[in-house]
Amino acid sequence: MRKTYSRRSLAVDPAHMITLHQEAIEQLELMRTVVEASEQANDGMRDTLDNMAENHWEAYMDVMHMLCMHDDNLAAVMKKHGFKMRESEPEDTERQFFGSRLLFLALLIGLIRRHNRFAYYYGLRVNPMGDYLKESMTMEREHMAIMISMVQNMI
């Protein structure tokens, strides 16, 4: 007799998720440093630094793609907000920064804090506050998607 196997979702490896969130934090911190430096730079240097910031954003979005591959709930929230994680954009498309740099920096700091919270949550193995943490992670995913969309609209 043949057994039918139900498709179960795989358990998330907390160590791997912590590593991915730490990589996202690194990319955002590098981007924040570049944006802060570009405020003090002249025109030619500012263009170069803005290009570096765009590269860090693309690397961050690649990490987010990896996170969405492992976290179905995050993928669903990102999809709800209209993100396609592998958007193909022509190479000759030139991006320009729109908006307040102060707001941009605040959003980057907010994203860094969100990723730190996720790394903290995944670091907790067994906790009596499990239900609270699940609800909190749902809210964090939603807020993270909103902040990413705000940054994406500014770039």
DSSP code of residue 94: P
Domain boundaries in the chain? 14-84+97-154
Distant-in-sequence, close-in-space partners of 108: CB < 8 Å, separation ≥ 6: 28, 31, 32, 35, 151
Q: In this structure, how many other beta carbons lie within 10 angstroms of the beta carbon of residue 96? A: 8
**What 3-state DSSP class applies to 1?**
coil
What does the alpha-carbon distance between residue 155 and residue 150 come to, in Å, rounded to a whole number? 9
| Sign of the CA dihedral with 38 first, then 44, 49, and 50 last | positive
Question: 74-90, pLDDT tens digit by residue?
Answer: 888 888 887 765 555 55
Question: 74-133, pLDDT tens digit by residue?
Answer: 888 888 887 765 555 555 555 556 667 888 889 999 999 999 988 888 887 656 667 777
Residue 150 parent element (H or E): helix 130-154
pTM above 0.85, yes or no: no
